[in-house]
Amino acid sequence: MLSEKGMMGMGNGVARHDTKTAENAARRAVEAARIVQPEWAGRTVAERAVALERAAKRMLRDRQSLLHLVKEEMGKHEVEGLFTEALGPLDAVKAWKKIVGKAQSRRVLLNPIAFPKKHARIAMVPRGVVGIIAPWNFPVSGLYRSVVPALLTGNAIVLKPSEYTPRSSAWFPDHFAREVPHGVVNVVQGDGAVGAQVVESGIDACVFTGSIAAGKKVRVKCAELGIPSSVEMGGKDAAIVLGDCDLERTVMGITHWTLANAGQSCGGIEVAYVEERIADRFVEALGRAWSKLRTGPGDDDVEVSPLGNDHQLSVVEAHVKDALAKGAKLVTGGKKTSGRGYMPTILDNCTAEMDVVREETFGPVLAIVRVWGTEQAVRAINASKYGLGASIWSKDVARAERLVDKHDVGVATINTHQFTGAVPQLPWSGTKQTGFGVANSELSLLTYMHPKTIAIDEAPSEPFFMPFDRTLRDLGEALVKAQLGDLLGAAKLPLLLRRRAKRLREFFKG
Ligand code: NAD
């Protein structure tokens, strides 16, 4: 792996950079990648997959080093890290191998009457060098869906990890780098300014995951440069809890999908719209469970990981303060513990004016909005500026299915939430300001490959070739009449085609 640091020093857990050095680092990385990429692209998908699978197996064996790094850089508990960061690389490579394998090349059957003796196929061609700009919240598993398909489709990559998790995120490509030609996998470290340099360093496509503010800039720059981009931005997912839900299961599920990764997931539940008829019982059961959960920098003695960095902690504190000032009721939590631990927090009686309902909180906080019916909840979800995911919790699955159809989001789930983000076969995408980038599934592959149509003609000539004359006009008129169901026009076609072929032979014979 070529790892260009461009770093001037470390302070407060954040790498600081000289942007000039970083610009050179990004450009050098792209140049190196471009030289070796054709060799990598010359291998088959199966050959590339063998190399990546070998690396993924080594990652599984090396998991302890990753768990230490992730804990050191963002405080994630090792048990949580084991499940969310360490378990998946081999499964990811195997799943993507199938998805990419199917998308490589296909023949297209052409109508033999309209296109006699012609054959065509679509070949998918790697873009070249793909720039990947990543956030910190899932420093390794968040890369499965970009790094793995980018490499399997035959691209070289330049990865810019988050400045908060530079070593955890470099761990992943570092393992791949040992199994692929030198220069296929590159890492450029730095902050947002370095990310901007990567976008302008000559890459052929860009995959960005992160905040709305940064994502919009990346999308605009890519459009100016004329390179394809997949930009996936923030979320503010909601759950609708219906009066007929299985209360115990719903409390369990909403607890997990709100507090997993300390709530720092783009697709984590942040708001629960709860039908009034079940709200008291739901809030009481949730509050009882959450007040037993522990948080802080430990491991086996705590359940909820601390927040990933000081900035995130300050956002969470500000949102809770804003909600309480605007009349929310604190059910449990609302306080920092040791380190960057923040107690799992439930706020009841929340309203649309509160930041905790409107803006991405990205922390272990659930805002409860009591509603009188599903329409009110669906309207609120659709009015949100975010559009990543929403779920409905109900025993009446048929009704829930009808309701999810009304959600203006990219991922709609029933009695579960966000797990599909880890399923390579299912598209992970959003609407509204979350962005229209698509990760996962064959639908994401156009970011990594462009289609090339290859057509072969074995016919001696074409009736519509020049010269344009009376014989061609007669043929065209007959074709129009045939389409309109005029049988006489259709019957004339064989004769007109023969006449045309004769005319062409005579014309070109000289
Ligand atoms: P961020 O936007 O601050 O940073 C993301 C990455 O972009 C970092 O590597 C950063 O250095 C880089 N960056 C910042 N400004 C840039 C610029 N102008 N040009 C190029 N690169 C730039 O986001 P973050 O705080 O690291 O991540 C959290 C955000 O990511 C949350 O909003 C979360 O919802 C979102 N996220 C979304 C998804 C999704 O699939 N939609 C997945 C994970 C995280």
CA torsion angle 379 383 386 387 (round to 10): 40
222 labelled catalytic: no
Residues with CB under 6 A from ligand 1: 133-137, 142, 160, 162-163, 191-192, 195-196, 199, 209-211, 214, 217-218, 232-235, 266, 360, 362, 388, 428, 434, 439
Percent of the chain at pLDDT above 90?
Answer: 91
Amino acid sitting at position 213: A
The reply to whether 266 belongs to the active site is yes
Going by pLDDT thresholds of 50, 70 and 90, the confidence category of residue 10 is: very low
Å from CA of 202 to ligand 1 middle: 21
Q: Are 409 and 390 in contact (CB under 8 A)?
A: yes
State the catalytic residue, choosing from 232, 270, 303, 360. Answer: 232
Whose CA is closest to atom 19 on ligand 1? 196
Q: In terms of Cα–Cα distance, which of 110, 101, 99, 107 is closest to 123? A: 107
pLDDT band at 489 (very low <50, low <70, confident <90, very high): confident
Q: Which of the listed residues 136, 137, 216, 225 should we mutate to test ligand 1's pocket, taking the one with most ligand atoms within 8 A of CB?
A: 137
Q: What is the pLDDT of residues 317-351, one digit of tens each?
A: 999 999 999 999 999 999 999 899 999 999 999 99
- Mapped onto helix, strand or coil, the DSSP state of residue 486 is coil
pLDDT tens for each residue of 381-440: 999 999 999 999 999 999 999 999 999 999 999 999 999 999 999 999 999 999 999 999
pLDDT at 461: 87
302-330 CB burial, b ≥16 within 10 A, e <16:
bbbbbbbbeebbebbbebbebbeeeebee
The pLDDT score that the predictor gives to residue 468 is 95
* Beta bridge partner(s), residue 238: 271, 390
Q: How confident is the model at residue 286 (pLDDT cuts 50, 70, 90)?
A: very high
How does pLDDT run across 89-115, given as a tens digit for each residue? 999 999 999 999 999 989 999 998 889
Mean pLDDT of 128-132: 98
Which residues make Cβ contacts (< 8 Å) with residue 469, sequence separation at least 6? Answer: 503
Identify the pLDDT of residue 19: 54
Give the residue-averaged pLDDT of 73-83: 96
Q: What is the pLDDT of residue 22?
A: 65
State mean pLDDT over 161-184.
97
pLDDT tens for each residue of 186-233: 999 999 999 999 999 999 999 999 999 999 999 999 999 999 999 999
In whole numbers, what is the pLDDT of the chain averaged over residues? 94
Give residue 114's pLDDT.
82
